[in-house]
Amino acid sequence: MTSTLRNRMMLVVGLVAGIAASLMYSASAETPPEKLAATPSVACKPSNLAVAGGRTLKAEDFEEPQACGKCHQRQMKGWQGSMHSLAFKDPVFQAEWALAVKATEGKALNDCGGCHTAIGVTTGTVKFDPSMGKHGGFTVAKQGEHGVSCEVCHSVSGSTAKNSPTGQPGNASLVLNPGETKYGPLLKSVSGYHETQYSELHTKAEFCGSCHNIFHSENKFPIEHTYDEWKSSPYAQADIPCQDCHMVPVEVANQVADRMVRAKDVPNHGLGGLAAKGAKVEREIVHDHGFVGGNAVIAAALGSPGAEEHKAEALKRLQGVADLDMDVRVGKGGAQELRVKVTNLRAGHHLPTSLTFIRRIWLDVAITDDQGRVILRSGELDANNRVDEDTVIFGNHSVDKAGKPTINPWEIASFTQLNTIPPKGFRFGKYAFKLPADAKGFKVVVKLNYQSYDQAVADKLLGKGAVLVPTIEMKALTRSYGADLKMVEARTLASR
């Protein structure tokens, strides 16, 4: 009885406050409230995080996701298998973070934590414990354990992007203002549980870019630049933000990329409905919050709820992103040359993006002649689950300031080789081979493969054999040619 009454009271208060807030917003559109705190908080340095009004936050200022999930079931279902929910717990991250904290005399605690556990950093509750795990581990108030949680994103009231080296979003350039008000994309939103505030920022790629652009905090090198890649892509020109591909099912995202339209304009997207239990109006799109990328390893390894759905979506995403084609011609010195063309059809940024020096996308190529002789083999996994140096790998090579190869973010000072595939663009893998004089024809089998990490990296971080890094076949193409290099049979291509 009492609680129903309280809820109703809150609903009324919420309604009035909601109208007042939306009036205030439209009345002072030039100076929205988020402009009030655009300078990163000293206590969060070197991260670009800020706390609105310079408040000192306690863990209790944030709620745990389970509380939100009671009414926001659809959002909860998607989020809970996502890498956002694991951004603090992820053992691969924690191992690298521990090495970083030790190498930087503690500076990396806030630096890395700003994006991976913004709650831990803004409440000062995140601590390094050298006695945990293989390399050391971390503890944080329970609200901070949920990584990039509902409360992290929906307490964002503004941006500190102006303070980053290029004035672009990056290094957690977010202002957090936790409490009664939840900031989000809905106009005229009313909840009996909390206040609401319309935030245009949440509908923009700049919101995601706050954490999906990473600069080295000292040498300023742009280590990961998914937002920058997007910004100069055809998707940005068509006004298609990250949200339209990563907060809807992969099937809808594929349509977005093929038609180059907003998710809301995909015919029969079927995503309309209520944004919460007890909501009064149907919304054109309710975002499923799956944030699916390429990671099909961690959620499944940790047995998180929703891991299997997330993995299935990640596979669908990887298997739909690229296209393969090939041709064979007479190359230099009379040898034959195979060219494999890989096109980035559906990623709104480079393929791969972000950890371009860690993710592995490579070509596995086999050429056999009509008598079964192997003429060329490249990109085959060896007994250690690794490919050799000559393999065509799409990614970047990172080095430290002395030019020595390193994949540790705190050491990276430059990239020496750039080989990622731009959005809607393509790259070639080239192979020279010599067909035996008595061969009447040959067959080419090409596969495009994905691994989240090199097995050696996983072994170093997690312990040898702790995880067998799976290989995901993104695409395959088989063709047969005569000795005259004319194609005689094309499979896969026809079914494209």
Between CA 85 and CA 75 the distance in angstroms is 12
Q: Which of 493, 490, 473 is nearest to 481 (CA)?
A: 490
Judged by CB under 6 A, the chain residues 206 through 225 that form the site for ligand HEC are: 207-212, 214
Q: 295 vs 455, which CB is nearer to ligand HEC?
A: 295
Between CA 375 and CA 373 the distance in angstroms is 6
Among 33, 40, 65, 158, binds ligand HEC (CB under 6 A): 65
Answer yes or no whether residue 72 interacts with ligand HEC by CB under 6 A.
Answer: yes
Q: Which of 411, 467, 472, 410 is nearest to 92 (CA)?
A: 467
Judged by CB under 6 A, the chain residues 464 through 493 that form the site for ligand HEC are: none
Answer yes or no whether residue 289 interacts with ligand HEC by CB under 6 A.
Answer: yes
Between CA 155 and CA 143 the distance in angstroms is 13
Judged by CB under 6 A, the chain residues 1 through 60 that form the site for ligand HEC are: none
Answer yes or no whether residue 203 interacts with ligand HEC by CB under 6 A.
Answer: yes
- DSSP string computed for 310-322: HHHHHHHHHHHHE
Least CB distance to ligand HEC at residue 118 (A): 5
Q: At residue 391, what is the residue type?
A: T
E strands, 146-251, in order: 156-159, 174-176, 181-184, 195-198, 213-215, 222-225
Answer yes or no whether residue 115 interacts with ligand HEC by CB under 6 A.
Answer: yes
Between CA 37 and CA 34 the distance in angstroms is 6
- Would you give the distance in Å from CA 204 to the centre of its chain? 16
Q: 76 vs 175, which CB is nearer to ligand HEC?
A: 76
Helix (H) or strand (E) holding 474: strand 472-482
Judged by CB under 6 A, the chain residues 298 through 337 that form the site for ligand HEC are: 298, 317-318, 321
Stretch 395-424: interaction string toward ligand HEC, x if CB under 6 A: --------------xx--------------
Cα–Cα–Cα angle for 170, 79, 54, rounded to 5 degrees: 45
Among 33, 40, 81, 114, binds ligand HEC (CB under 6 A): 114
Least CB distance to ligand HEC at residue 70 (A): 5
Between CA 328 and CA 322 the distance in angstroms is 20
Alpha-carbon torsion 135, 141, 142, 144, what sign?
negative
Q: 194 vs 341, which CB is nearer to ligand HEC?
A: 194
Least CB distance to ligand HEC at residue 26 (A): 14
- The neighbouring-strand residues paired with 326 are 340
The answer to whether the CB of 64 falls within 8 A of the CB of 142 is: yes
Answer yes or no whether residue 158 interacts with ligand HEC by CB under 6 A.
Answer: no
Least CB distance to ligand HEC at residue 443 (A): 29
Q: 118 vs 444, which CB is nearer to ligand HEC?
A: 118
Among 143, 353, 455, 471, binds ligand HEC (CB under 6 A): 353
Least CB distance to ligand HEC at residue 428 (A): 19
Q: 248 vs 435, which CB is nearer to ligand HEC?
A: 248
Between CA 448 and CA 432 the distance in angstroms is 19
E strands, 81-146, in order: 127-129, 137-139
Answer yes or no whether residue 346 interacts with ligand HEC by CB under 6 A.
Answer: yes
Q: Which of 212, 230, 93, 234 is nearest to 164 (CA)?
A: 212
Answer yes or no whether residue 246 interacts with ligand HEC by CB under 6 A.
Answer: yes
Determine the interface stretch with ligand HEC among 51-59, 132-140, 284-292, 487-495 (rule: CB under 6 A): 284-292
Judged by CB under 6 A, the chain residues 179 through 198 that form the site for ligand HEC are: 182, 184-186, 189-194, 196-198
Answer yes or no whether residue 462 interacts with ligand HEC by CB under 6 A.
Answer: no
Q: 337 vs 400, which CB is nearer to ligand HEC?
A: 400
Determine the interface stretch with ligand HEC among 37-45, 96-104, 137-145, 391-399 (rule: CB under 6 A): 96-104
- Would you give the distance in Å from CA 309 to the centre of its chain? 17
Least CB distance to ligand HEC at residue 209 (A): 6
Answer yes or no whether residue 256 interacts with ligand HEC by CB under 6 A.
Answer: yes
Judged by CB under 6 A, the chain residues 262 through 281 that form the site for ligand HEC are: 275-276, 278-279, 281
Between CA 418 and CA 427 the distance in angstroms is 11
Please name the residue that has the structure tokens 């009885």: 1
Answer yes or no whether residue 351 interacts with ligand HEC by CB under 6 A.
Answer: yes
Q: Torsion angle, CA of 409/410/414/420, rounded to 10 degrees?
A: 10
Least CB distance to ligand HEC at residue 31 (A): 19
